[in-house]
């Protein structure tokens, strides 16, 4: 009990410090706010679970393996996203090693967060019993078939069936679990138990709300570009997308059940871990190439602020653009900084805009989709619209220039 209380105290302090880091933008830590806030949450929840049950779910010797497996599990959806292109990342670190460590620590929170939340919710609502269902002997065939069909539809016609990405993997794993006799939702329902099923859905929704809430405060973050739902959003997520978190909760727990079926044999664990490492290595490279839209600008990258000002900032220990006090800049420098920070547009895209005489947010707001697409070399028009809508929304608040854009370059 004492150990759990100490861990709980540490987690609370860690959690509070995470907020201080992001609001004060303490360098170099604020760029990793998402990982900090989620790991403090996981430790906090696991401490609460431990105080009630006398054991930890996550904080065990196996946690390094769980982090790797969790990262690999989420990378399955990153690979699917390469096709459906429903989200992209902004303001990520420039250094590859730092960026990839960030992927591991961030993606490594997915399973631990959902699992510990689900178990706590389950302990609260209890094991809800209903009338036992008939034996579902054909369930594995149907579930696995539905899983693969929905996955194929997602990949073939992503503009329409993108939502099935959050269904397919769950059907495949639950069908497989049932066939092998592992814990499965179908098996629970067959026995008349609904507690785990409902707890997984609730955990998915709770974690989903927290994912979006904390992503909203982060500097390094994701932005959604979901077809048909580009306008009605809560934080960055389209409102209807929160239903997907409920399904994702179920999907993740089917994978946890799959892991529990393997955990008794070390050779199985090592094979799965090695597979997940390979998936991560492949996926991280593809994310860098296709899903990362912008990287965090360091002072050394900035060429629109006078050298004397930059030197003074360096002497003060400022390293990145989000620590710059705009009051110290000229009007033109502020306009460039605001444009670069607009939805994490980034220094590279700012340079392309400046080459075409787009020097502030107002000028950006006047562009046509196809023109902006050509200027920043972005073929995904949903991403292009993100920046045009943000420019139109913010242009009245910014200083306006009436320079005529030059599209000759």
Are residues 225 and 95 part of one domain? yes
Distances (CA, A) of 158 to 12, 286, 287: 41, 18, 18
Residues 392, 335 within the same domain: yes
> Number of structural domains, the chain?
2
CA distances from 291 to 201, 217, 295, 363 (A): 28, 20, 11, 26
pLDDT band at 279 (very low <50, low <70, confident <90, very high): very high
Domain termination residue (choose one: 269, 290, 311): 290
Other CB atoms within 10 Å distance of the CB of residue 172: 23
Domain final residue, candidates 272, 290, 308: 290
Task: Check whether 163 has a pLDDT greater than 80.
Answer: yes
Domain that holds residue 314: 299-397
pLDDT in the model for residue 396: 64
Check whether residue 315 and residue 348 sit in a common domain. Answer: yes
Cis peptide before 191 (omega within 30 of 0): no
Q: What is the pLDDT of residue 404?
A: 46
Q: Is the pLDDT of residue 339 over 60?
A: yes
Q: Is the pLDDT confidence value at 218 over 80?
A: yes
* Token pair for 189: 């329902």
Are 372 and 260 contained in the same domain? no
**Does 161 map to a domain?**
yes
Mean pLDDT of all residues in 194-210? 96
Does 1 or 282 have the greater pLDDT score?
282
pLDDT exceeds cutoff 50 at 407: no
Question: What's the whole-number mean pLDDT along residues 34-46?
Answer: 97
Confidence of residue 263 (pLDDT cuts 50, 70, 90): confident
pLDDT computed for residue 241 by the predictor: 84
Task: Let me know if residue 352 belongs to a domain.
Answer: yes
pLDDT digits (tens, 9 = 90+) for 86-122: 999 999 999 999 999 999 999 999 999 999 999 999 9
Residue range 245-255: average pLDDT?
96
Within 13 Å, how many C-alpha atoms sit on residue 343's CB side?
24
Let me know whether 270 and 336 are in one domain.
Answer: no
What's residue 294's pLDDT? 97
Report pLDDT for 397. Answer: 56
Residue-level pLDDT at 360: 96
Same domain, 245 and 341: no
Q: Say whether both 241 and 331 belong to one domain.
A: no
Cα-flanking dihedrals φ and ψ of residue 222, to 5°? -110, 155
Mean pLDDT of the chain: 92
| pLDDT of 398 | 47
Mean pLDDT of the 211-223 span: 96
Residue 228 confidence (pLDDT) above 80: no
Question: What would the mean pLDDT of 72-98 be, rounded to a whole number?
Answer: 96
Q: By percentage, how much of the chain surpasses pLDDT 90?
A: 83
Reply yes or no on whether the pLDDT at 203 is more than 70. Answer: yes
Q: Is the pLDDT of residue 25 over 50?
A: yes
Inside any domain, residue 272: yes
- Tell whether the model's pLDDT for residue 131 goes beyond 50: yes
Both 356 and 281 in a single domain? no
Residue 22 counted as domain residue: no
CA–chain centroid gap for 162, Å, is 17
Q: What pLDDT does 352 receive? A: 97
Helix axes 195-217, 110-125, angle to 10 degrees: 130
* Residue 45 is assigned to a structural domain of this protein: no
Considering the domain architecture, whether residues 104 and 185 belong to the same structural domain is answered as yes
Cα–Cα dist 353/97, whole Å: 29
> Are 122 and 240 contained in the same domain?
yes
Mean pLDDT of 205-231: 91
Asked if residue 311 belongs to a domain, the reply is yes
Is the pLDDT at 62 greater than 70? The verdict is yes
Question: Do both 250 and 111 map to the same domain?
Answer: yes
Last residue of a domain, one of 248, 271, 290: 290
**pTM, 2 dp:** 0.92
Please check whether residue 409 lies inside any domain of the structure. no
Please tell me the distance from the alpha carbon of residue 339 to that of residue 334, in angstroms, as a whole number.
8
Within a domain: 348: yes
Q: How would residue 408 be classed by pLDDT, with cut points 50, 70 and 90?
A: very low
208 and 242 Cβ atoms separated by less than 8 Å: yes
3-state secondary structure of 295: strand
Shared domain for 307 and 381, answered yes or no, is: yes
Which of 114, 401, 65, 391 is closest to 247 using CA atoms? 114
Q: Tell me what pLDDT residue 127 has.
A: 86
Q: What is the pLDDT of residue 38?
A: 97
């Amino acid at each position: 009990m004492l150990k759990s209380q100490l861990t709980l105290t540490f987690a609370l302090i860690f959690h509070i410090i995470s907020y201080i880091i992001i609001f004060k933008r303490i360098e170099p830590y604020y760029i990793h706010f998402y990982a900090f806030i989620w790991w403090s949450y996981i430790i906090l929840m696991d401490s609460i679970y431990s105080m009630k049950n006398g054991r930890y779910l996550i904080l065990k010797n196996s946690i390094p393996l769980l982090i790797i497996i969790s990262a690999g599990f989420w990378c399955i959806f990153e690979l699917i996203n390469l096709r459906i292109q429903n989200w992209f990342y902004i303001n990520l670190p420039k250094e590859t090693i730092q960026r990839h460590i960030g992927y591991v620590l961030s993606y490594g929170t997915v399973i631990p967060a959902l699992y510990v939340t689900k178990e706590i919710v389950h302990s609260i609502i209890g094991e809800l019993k209903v009338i036992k269902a008939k034996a579902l002997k054909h369930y594995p065939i149907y579930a696995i078939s539905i899983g693969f069909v929905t996955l194929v539809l997602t990949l073939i016609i992503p503009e329409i069936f993108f939502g099935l990405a959050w269904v397919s993997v769950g059907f495949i794993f639950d069908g497989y679990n049932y066939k092998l006799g592992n814990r499965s939702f179908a098996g629970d329902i067959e026995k008349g138990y609904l507690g785990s099923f409902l707890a997984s859905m609730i955990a998915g929704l709770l974690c989903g709300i927290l994912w979006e809430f904390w992503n909203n405060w982060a500097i390094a973050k994701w932005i959604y570009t979901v077809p048909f739902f580009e306008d009605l959003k809560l934080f960055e997520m389209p409102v209807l997308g929160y239903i997907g978190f409920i399904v994702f909760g179920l999907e993740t727990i089917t994978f946890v059940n799959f892991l529990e079926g393997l955990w008794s044999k070390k050779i199985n664990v090592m094979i799965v871990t090695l597979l997940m490492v390979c998936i991560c290595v492949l996926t991280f490279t593809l994310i860098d190439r296709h899903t990362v839209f912008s990287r965090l600008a360091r002072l050394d990258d900035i060429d629109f602020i006078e050298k004397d000002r930059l030197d003074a900032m360096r002497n003060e220990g400022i390293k990145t653009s989000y620590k710059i006090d705009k009051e110290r800049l000229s009007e033109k420098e502020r306009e460039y900084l605001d444009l670069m920070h607009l939805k994490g547009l980034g220094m590279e895209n700012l340079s392309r805009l400046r080459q075409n005489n787009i020097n502030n947010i107002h000028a950006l707001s006047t562009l046509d989709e196809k023109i902006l697409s050509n200027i920043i070399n972005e073929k995904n028009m949903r991403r292009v619209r993100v920046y045009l809508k943000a420019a139109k929304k913010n242009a009245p608040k910014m200083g306006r220039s009436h320079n005529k854009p030059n599209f000759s370059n």
